[in-house]
Amino acid sequence: MSTKWLKSLVLSGALVTTGLFASAATTHAAIPDGVKVQINDHLVDFPDAMPYLYQGSLMIPLRAVADDLGYKVEHQMINNDSQVRVKVTGNGHVLELESGKVKAKVDNRSVTLRTPPVIKNGRVYVHIRSIGDHFGHIVQWDANNEIGILGADGKYHAPAWYKPAVPDNDTASSVKKAIVSTAKQYIGVPYQWGGTSPSGFDCSGFVTYIFNKQDITLPRTSSGMYSSAGTSVSKPEQGDLVFFASGGKVFHVGIYIGGNQFISATSDGVKIDSLGNSYWKNVYVGAKKVM
């Protein structure tokens, strides 16, 4: 492969090589739920690759965070495409690093990183301080809400999201039933791109509308819900969110109503479908409990 600096090999920032995916499968433990990254006063939206904690270190998907900051990221494959050299340019600085190595350069000056960059599921991950320390950003960790905060504006920030109080079982059960019952009242409402009202819904607009009626606030997009709302569950229960993706990106969300069925706003309007449907079962990527 050419040794020229390469921009992202695909738009999503995935490094699509056989060697990279093979090494990623053995890199670190599974990603725990709930870890988030905030830049100034807003949460970073992670459409697929998620931040995670490893031995007390917050590892973040470099591409998503750099894009949010407006930084330029370039990749160069090395060592028979088994590793990657990355160059990040922004805020008047240039950071050069390699996967698996703690030695790096900032503005051509040698530095030692706290944790080496890693490749996981085709994405490059770095310690949050690799960005914060070397680009002049304040770094905070809010343990209660599991949010790593980058103060790119040089200021300290309060969390942009707080974990909701956990209701008791009886309260949660009644709220879930109310969500399902309310959702069914809108069966037949037409689909409308960007719609958030009974005159027309898109998928995430429908879900946020229904949950807002129970004073539960969710991110506006399906990818935002998938990345930052609630906790993943292996088997959905009534009132949980169910997600669907294609090409590694979440594109649809619905509300599980029980009996292997869910309700959502589709191109045919608000309707009930089965998770066992030949189409939906092939794009289903999981469920999340938000209460």
Q: Which of residues 162 and 219 earns the better pLDDT score?
A: 219
Question: The domain 36-151 belongs to what CATH superfamily?
Answer: Copper amine oxidase-like, N-terminal domain (3.30.457.10)
d(CA 2, CA 262): 48
86: left (phi over 0), alpha (psi -120 to 50) or beta: beta
For 229, the token pair is 């709302």
Burial category of 267 from C-beta neighbours within 10 Å (exposed 0-12, middle 13-18, buried 19 and up): exposed
Q: What is the dihedral of CA 182, 188, 193, 196, to 10 degrees?
A: -20
Closest to 179 (Cα-Cα) out of 275, 104, 66, 289:
289
3 state SS of 65: helix
Domain regions of the chain by residue span: 36-151, 169-289
DSSP state of 148: E
How confident is the model at residue 168, as a pLDDT? 63
Q: According to the model, what pLDDT value does residue 3 have? A: 38
pLDDT of residue 25: 28
What is the reported pLDDT for 19?
A: 28
Using the predicted structure, report yes or no on whether residue 14 has a pLDDT greater than 50: no
* Statement: residue 253 has pLDDT above 80: yes
Give CA–CA dist 138/128, Å, rounded.
11
Taking a C-beta distance cutoff of 8 angstroms, is the pair 154, 135 a contact? no
The residue-averaged pLDDT of 45-52 equals 88
> Please, what CATH class does the domain formed by 169-289 belong to?
alpha beta
pLDDT tens-digit map of 59-69: 999 999 999 99
pLDDT above 70 (res 189): yes
- What are the pLDDT digits (tens) for 264-275? 999 999 999 999
The total of other beta-carbon atoms located within 10 Å of residue 95's CB is 25
CA distances from 287 to 83, 151, 152, 255 (A): 33, 32, 33, 9
Residues with Cβ within 8 Å of residue 278, at least 6 apart in sequence: none
Domains 36-151 and 169-289 share a fold: no
Are the C-beta atoms of 291 and 172 separated by less than 8 Å? yes
CA distance 175 to 219: 19
Three-class SS state of 60: strand
Q: Is the pLDDT of residue 12 over 80?
A: no
Rg, the chain, Cα only? 21
| Tokens 């920030």, residue located | 157
Average of per-residue pLDDT across 194-212: 93
Give CA–CA dist 135/271, Å, rounded. 48
Between 74 and 145, the higher pLDDT residue = 74
